[in-house]
Homo-oligomer: A and B are copies of this chain.
């Protein structure tokens, strides 16, 4: 498993995960669905969408319990938003990066920079409930990694993914929030390219690329919230999704 790339990698979307409820044993849901269709094999990586992790962890807010602040009310009125949902996004933020033309880009308390602090109402039952990001996506990934690896008898890295917007480019893409069991970055510095020249600045965010790849079979409108990534040569290591978040001191686009 030491090769950083392979000739063929397959993404397999798992159907059959039930609607996840707070307190559910998500590892059990995933293993049951996998056993019934595509049993896990040595070398597989699991990509799990944030939404079902947050639901299992009870990271849901009933909007009826939220009293919006003056800022949330003003912003929501101006841009046709639900003031209570804006308020939840503000509470999930440690810094507002941009608040302009109806777009609210937040730095979450984890350090992720994303729209509305990751607070989302899609694919959540009821019209009065919103879903937050997990409290600690790396801890969530580690818990799933440990539970699933123990039950199948081999190490299965876990990536918890969400769709984020980007600066400069249209559309959202899947990225890795939490990572456990593999390195999220492949560091080619000090290695040599095909011409024998040392590569100076090539550090690939492979966990983000794997998350993006998984989205191709997840489907926004479908119920395939878990993807098996088969054939990618990962290196077993204590990686963390937090390693993908740029140190503010280095970030030129804060």
Point out residues on A near B: beta carbons under 8 Å.
4-13, 15, 98, 100-101, 103, 105, 112-113, 115, 121-127, 163, 166-175, 184-185, 188, 191-195, 197, 199, 201-206, 208-210, 212-213, 215-224, 232, 243-246, 250-253
Contacts and interface: CB of A to CB of B under 8 A. Distances in A.
Most buried by B among A5, A101, A121: A5
Contacts of A124: 195
B168 A251 contact: yes
The prevalent SS among residues of A at the interface is loop
Given A7-B217, A195-B123, A219-B4, A169 B202 contact: no
A166 B167 contact: yes
Given A202-B220, A216-B206, A253-B98, A170 B193 contact: no
25 contacts: A4-B219, A5-B216, A5-B217, A5-B218, A7-B15, A7-B224, A8-B10, A8-B12, A10-B10, A101-B252, A113-B167, A115-B201, A166-B205, A167-B167, A167-B251, A167-B253, A168-B253, A170-B246, A171-B185, A171-B205, A173-B209, A204-B215, A212-B213, A213-B213, A216-B232
